[in-house]
A and B are shown apart, each in its own frame.
Chain A
Amino acid sequence: MVWLELLSDYTFQNVVIGASLLGLISGPLGCFAVLRRQSLLGDAISHAALPGICLSFIITGSRDIGGIIMGSLITGSAAALIMLMLTRLSRLKTDAALGACLSIFFAVGIVLLTYIQSTNNASQGGLEAFLFGQAAATLRSDLWVMGSITLVTLLLLAVFWKQAKLVTFDAEYARTLGMPITVIEASLTAMVALAVVVGLQMVGVILMAAMIVAPAAAARQWSRHLGGMLTIAAGVGIVSGVSGATISTLSRGLATGPLIVLTATAIVLISLALAPGRGLLWGVIKHYRQKSALQKQQLLYALYKHSADPSCAPSTLGSRRMLNKLKQQGYLTRSPRGATPSDDGWGLTAQGQAEARRVIAAFEELAS
């Protein structure tokens, strides 16, 4: 198999492992972001990482991944904190605060980037690649760092599972149980920042938002339990990552980041359409069934109610179709026109009357 041959290539191995780590950490943490209505926080943090990356380069003089992660984490978290501060202490709403922090931090990053460029340091070449990701440039040593961060983060999640779950679902209630809400929420935000920072290498600043959001969005369609959602999200993340990496390598020239994102998006769309119970396809089918059932009930009800008053004639095209259908099913009869000038000639059979009475009874039930 071609894929197995590919796996023997050192660079490809790195890319696949990196992509898998990306999925493993951004999937689960993305779930928390999405459930807490902070989907775009990942977007803001990833843009805010740029100044951190530049700073780390300025300070350490190299693009060592430890420094990059440190720098991104600091500025990313700073952006998240400032955003919180802006929303809590002024009448600025979340969206404006997010947009402001995202763009201003990024602007600072651009300024620092051009500063670095002006000092003409030879080893700064890789920095711009953080905009789009530079999957192929992943070093084995980078993977060790990414892997350990992923491991630690997931362990923390496992240990503080109850708290994370409750705070995400109902923070106020969690507070009444004595949980330190602010600490937990801040930690969750920091972990999202970590996920973003780990993934930057693979998909870059711009697309990281999607890797936080998409696996979680897809997983939500399949699972009703938080644990299940996290697992599926991780799976979706890994599959997207590996597929994207594979296609990119095979195609020789297509960027990895976009391919990963498109795979993830495709999975989301498929999940939306097909997931049992929630899937849109089922929804559409159910909708049409319910609509015709409703129409049938309404017509029976109308005819029953107006049997004493024959001057009403349901005559829209839709109901004509339904009227014929009901006649076929034995609920209606059609008497020849002209019984009364305004009468369209539809009447209930005995069976139809019984059915109408049943419908009415059902609604008495419902409304009481």
Chain B
Amino acid sequence: MMAELLTTTALPIMLVGAMVGIASSAVGTFLVLRGNSMLSDAISHSIVFGIVIVWLLTKQQSGPVQLIGAALTGLLTVLLTEALASTKRVKQDTAIGLVFPALFSIGVLLLNIYANDVHIDTHTVLLGEIGFVWLDTVDIFGLPIPQALVSMSVMTVLNYAFIGLFYKELKLATFDPALAKTFGFMPSILFYVLLMLTSSTAVAAFDAVGAVLFIAFAIVPASAAYLLTDRLWMMFIIGALISIASSISGYYLAVYLNVSIGGMMAVMTGVFLMLAFLAGPRYGVITQRVKRQRARQAPVEPPPSV
């Protein structure tokens, strides 16, 4: 019965979608708070370089060796970006815009040269195809589990373990890196590890949703959560909930309209962001306007006499 559940298309797809969101929004939360959201963009593109190199060396398209290769590529991307920015001749955002296209280009060219006939298809890497996750399964306890689900679960566990273990260190390093440094918490190292986890999550997510949609899952639920709560730990919960909701609603809408499932899931995260932006109970634009209206209409109390 379990086997049937797992191979009937709906459940594994929605599970993978939800996992992509949960794993990505976890690391994405810190990226958003640090103001480094675009690093997820940079990493998800430059990883193509890493994927090609790993594939050339090991002939493996997925699995743990790709996760490690991705982590290293992500680290390389960030180190190159920082090196460029530290010359003071280019600003940080310019540095990002220089490094990742260069790495991406090298990756594509390597593909052109070495792998023209093979199925590392940049198309799939960029766009993914979550609808086919149930095709590529791994046997665990006799059940055919989609490969993508395994990788995403591993990344979810790794990400949350890291965040859970170093919660207060990450919080302080994000909020006040100078103080964190005086406490000996090495904010830079923490940040690099976070980015390596982000990169591995990205490559694990490629199978399912592809590079650019990964960015959506990393940044958008976390951004929506940022607009909805004033507690850091709540941001993780809200991020996860939005991921699950987007996954389910995205799947059914995509099936109904016969369009890309991954794309639709990402679009739904955008819908939730819009809802949070407009109608969020604390910071929503419309909510605040309504509050101001009510405040204007209420009678003004004179200040207490001194």
| A contacts, CB < 8 Å to B | 34, 37-40, 42-43, 47, 86, 89-93, 95-100, 102-104, 106-115, 118, 128, 131-132, 206-207, 209-210, 212-214, 216-217, 220-221, 253-255, 257-259, 261-262, 265, 268, 272, 278, 280, 283
A206 touches B260 (CB 8 A): no
For the complex, give the distance between the alpha carbons of A108 and B285 in Å: 24
Q: Which residue of A lies closest to B104 (CB)?
A: A206
- B38 an interface residue at 8 Å Cβ cutoff? yes
B37: CB under 8 A from chain A?
yes
Query: In angstroms, how far is the closest chain B Cβ from the Cβ of A222?
Result: 11
Q: In the complex, what residues of B have CB within 8 A of residue A206's CB?
A: 45, 101, 104, 126
Contacts A99-B38, A114-B260 hold; do A220 and B89 have CB atoms under 8 A apart?
Answer: yes
**A107 pairs with B266, CB closer than 8 A:** yes
Which residues of chain A are within 8 angstroms of B91 by Cβ–Cβ distance?
Answer: 34, 37, 39
Given A40-B96, A99-B38, A107-B213, CB of A210 within 8 Å of CB of B259? no
User: Are B89 and A102 in contact, with the CB atoms below 8 A?
Assistant: no
Residues of A within 8 A of B264 (CB): 107, 111
Q: Are A265 and B101 in contact (CB under 8 A)?
A: yes
Q: Is the CB of B116 within 8 A of A253?
A: yes
Chosen A-B contacts, 11 in total, with CB atoms closer than 8 Å, are A90-B283, A92-B227, A99-B218, A99-B220, A100-B216, A102-B41, A107-B264, A110-B212, A110-B260, A258-B104, A265-B101
A261-B37 in contact (CB<8A) = no
A255–B258 CB distance below 8 A: no
Which chain A residues border B78 with CB–CB below 8 Å? none
Chain B 206-238 residues near chain A, CB threshold 8 A: 212-213, 215-216, 218-220, 222-223, 226-227
Interface centre among B96, B101, B218, B277 (most CB of A within 10 A): B101
Given contacts A254-B112, A262-B105, contact A91 B212 (CB under 8 A): no
Taking CB atoms, residues of chain A closer than 8 Å to B93 are 37-40
Contacts of A111 in B (CB 8 A): 254, 257, 259-260, 263-264, 267
Instruction: Check B97 against A43 for contact (C-beta < 8 Å).
Output: yes
Q: How many chain B residues touch the partner (CB < 8 A)?
A: 60
With A and B bound together, what is the CA distance between A247 and B154 in angstroms?
A: 43
B139 to A: closest C-beta gap in Å? 31
Asked whether any CB of chain A lies closer than 8 Å to the CB of B19, the reply is no
Residues B89-130 near A (CB distance < 8 A): 89-91, 93-94, 96-98, 100-102, 104-106, 108-109, 112-113, 116, 122-123, 126-127
| Interchain CA distance A4-B212 in the complex, whole Å | 40
Q: CB of B73 within 8 A of chain A?
A: no
Q: Is the CB of B106 within 8 A of A262?
A: yes
A34-B91, A89-B285, A128-B123 given; name 16 further pairs at CB < 8 Å.
A92-B223, A98-B37, A99-B223, A100-B216, A100-B273, A103-B213, A104-B267, A104-B270, A107-B213, A110-B262, A111-B254, A113-B260, A216-B94, A253-B116, A262-B106, A265-B101
Q: Which of B53-112 contact A (CB under 8 A)?
A: 84, 87, 89-91, 93-94, 96-98, 100-102, 104-106, 108-109, 112
Given A96-B226, A110-B263, A111-B259: A39 touches B94 (CB 8 Å cut-off): yes
Residue of B nearest to A260 (CB): B105
The closest CB in chain B to the CB of A47 belongs to B212
A113 to B104 alpha-carbon distance, docked (Å): 23
Question: Closest residue to B218 on the A side, CB-wise?
Answer: A99
Known contacts being A99-B215, A104-B220, A220-B89, is A257 close to B105, with CB within 8 Å? Answer: yes
Contact indicator A90/B227 (Cβ below 8 Å): yes
